[in-house]
């Protein structure tokens, strides 16, 4: 059997030229220069390991030529360079290196993600409508046949509620934000676009097992690996969002709203940079506080200089990159939204009854936040806070000859904002300018004398008080790591230990709190 050797000058060019660095030539860590021009691939690989302690096995199907020039590289770095350029793959075994031709290979990747599909829809709507004609609410005439419900016109209700009369025209604006997270579908589609589906290439995903099997060429498999690593690394970025929903009853000097210029001056004295937009402080705006290392308590203390601050809610939530986080605190109350008249034949007369339709209305606080976390610590937040209050309100409608219709309807007061802001990790975001106005009466009277007819008016005084309140939302997003979690837990434990637990008669107050008020026998 004849053996074919490359010319001497070719082998000499491919042999490692070890630099004098004191390393053992048999360790495989020496660096050398490699230069080849149109050398057969099989000859190149065999000559690369000639004189080395490493073994090499070259697949008989390897064909083609190699041209390259590398300086100060190792054997494995040379193999990696040839793989990236020509597609020849290699694998290291205990017995040495094995070189493969550029053929289709199958690789299984582990993907750590939930098998869920999330769809979010957030909407802010401002409408001005004209109410259409009111239809009669009573039926006239006779009814015969089987018992049933005679059709009646819906009462006059706010548009959008069941049984409401549609408006003739609608003017206004609406902001609707939709998000859909179907990671496994997007992942499979992305890999198919990356490698294609021709020539035997295929992609199989098993979300329940958390694996993706890809059949492609080695260079394409490496691209898929980089794609999955980057995708998983970005998706696993996590952020803690601390929020305070505040309502400040403004003092007499600040009836136009919180004076944020004075607020900014107080912060500048602390060395805090403040960025406010727009310049009209009385409207809804966003504000970023950078360089402020204080807590929410310090910000609330500054706000208390302009009014009485009440903390409505203090939610804290952690979410992943580009995932919706929704907080809802409140209760649902049922209100009448439709009235139906039922006419049932009974012999020669009809029996009339009415049934009402009830719809739940939410009263409380909702906060919808979606973060986008970049690699340099910047966070883009979609924020949709809303505070709603629903009360019972009696509506009296004069129907003329049909009589008077009295309906207990829901009166809803809504304060909400819909905005997209940008901040760095740890910065404070302020959403303000959501004003409300309330007028109350305060009665001052002299007991007994104020109840005397006619003359009692001289012994009582009624004052109308006008109060303005502003809703403020403080947000602090912070990208999580081990240090952030540790600091957050320590701060929470410190706040719990500093709470006033009341009187304790025995027991362990740090364990039982106010429930430790008992005698030990």
What pLDDT does 285 receive?
Answer: 45
Low-confidence ranges of the chain (pLDDT < 50): 1-6, 8-9, 11, 15-27, 128-169, 271-274, 276-286, 291, 516-521
**What values do phi and psi take at 157, rounded to 5?**
-130, 160
What pLDDT does 243 receive?
Answer: 87
Confirm if 52 and 96 have CB atoms less than 8 A apart.
no
What pLDDT does 488 receive?
Answer: 65
List, in sequence order, every residue forming a beta bridge with 36; answer none if it has no partner.
68
What pLDDT does 56 receive?
Answer: 92
Confirm if 163 and 157 have CB atoms less than 8 A apart.
yes
Q: Which residues contact 68 (CB under 8 A, 6 or more apart)?
A: 34, 35, 36, 81, 82, 85
Confirm if 236 and 243 have CB atoms less than 8 A apart.
no
Reading phi first (left if > 0) and then psi (alpha if -120 to 50, else beta), residue 257 is in left
pTM greater than 0.85 (yes/no) = no
Residue 205 structure tokens: 């995903």
Confirm if 58 and 28 have CB atoms less than 8 A apart.
no
What pLDDT does 518 receive?
Answer: 43
Task: For each of the domains in the chain, give its residue range(s) and CATH number, in order of start.
Answer: 8-102 (3.55.50.30), 239-480 (no CATH)
Q: Which residues contact 475 (CB under 8 A, 6 or more apart)?
A: 241, 242, 243, 369, 381, 383, 428, 429, 430, 431
């Amino acid at each position: 059997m004849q053996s074919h050797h490359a010319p001497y000058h070719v082998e000499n060019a491919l042999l490692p030229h070890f630099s004098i660095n004191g390393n053992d030539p048999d360790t495989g860590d020496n660096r050398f220069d490699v230069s080849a021009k149109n050398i057969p691939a099989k000859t190149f690989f065999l000559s690369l390991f000639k004189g080395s302690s490493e073994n090499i096995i070259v697949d008989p199907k390897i064909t083609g030529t190699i041209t390259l020039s590398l300086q100060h590289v190792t054997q494995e770095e040379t193999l990696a360079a040839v793989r990236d350029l020509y597609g020849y793959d290699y694998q290291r075994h205990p017995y040495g290196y094995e070189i493969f031709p550029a053929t289709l290979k199958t690789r299984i990747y582990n993907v750590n993600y939930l098998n869920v599909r999330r769809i979010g829809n957030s909407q802010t709507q401002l409408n001005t409508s004209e109410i259409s004609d009111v239809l009669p609410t009573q039926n006239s005439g006779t009814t015969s046949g089987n018992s049933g419900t005679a059709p009646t016109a819906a009462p006059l209700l706010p548009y959008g509620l069941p049984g409401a009369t549609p408006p003739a025209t609608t003017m206004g604006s609406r902001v609707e934000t939709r998000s859909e997270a179907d990671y496994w579908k997007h992942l499979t589609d992305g890999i198919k676009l990356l490698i294609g589906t021709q020539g035997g290439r295929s992609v199989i995903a098993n979300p329940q097992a958390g694996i993706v099997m890809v059949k492609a060429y080695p260079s394409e498999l490496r691209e898929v690996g980089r794609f999955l690593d980057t995708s998983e690394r970005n998706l696993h970025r996590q952020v803690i969002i601390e929020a305070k929903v505040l309502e400040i009853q403004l003092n007499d000097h600040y009836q136009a709203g919180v004076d944020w210029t004075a607020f900014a001056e107080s912060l500048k004295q602390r060395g805090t940079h403040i960025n406010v937009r727009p310049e009209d402080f009385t409207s809804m705006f966003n504000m970023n506080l950078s360089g402020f290392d204080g807590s929410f308590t310090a910000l609330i203390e500054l706000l208390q200089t302009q009014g009485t601050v009440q903390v409505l809610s203090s939610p804290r939530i952690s979410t992943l990159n580009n995932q919706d986080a929704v907080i809802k605190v409140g209760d649902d109350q049922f209100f009448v939204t439709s009235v139906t008249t039922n006419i049932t034949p009974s012999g020669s007369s009809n029996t009339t009854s009415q049934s009402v339709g009830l719809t739940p209305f939410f009263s409380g606080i909702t906060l919808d936040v979606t973060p986008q976390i970049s690699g340099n610590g910047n966070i883009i937040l979609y924020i949709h806070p809303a505070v709603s209050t629903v009360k019972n309100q009696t509506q009296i409608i004069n129907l003329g000859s049909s009589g008077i219709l009295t309906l207990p309807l829901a009166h809803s007061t809504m304060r909400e904002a819909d905005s997209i802001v940008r901040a760095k990790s740890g910065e404070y975001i302020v959403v303000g300018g959501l004003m409300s106005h309330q007028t109350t009466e305060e009665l001052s009277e002299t007991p007994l004398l104020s109840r005397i007819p006619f003359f009692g008016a001289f012994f009582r005084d009624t004052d109308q008080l006008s109060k303005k309140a502003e809703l403020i939302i403080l947000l602090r997003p912070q990208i999580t790591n081990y240090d952030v979690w540790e600091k957050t837990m320590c701060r929470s434990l410190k706040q719990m230990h500093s709470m006033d637990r009341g009187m304790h008669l025995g027991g362990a107050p740090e364990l039982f709190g106010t429930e430790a008020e008992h005698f030990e026998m």
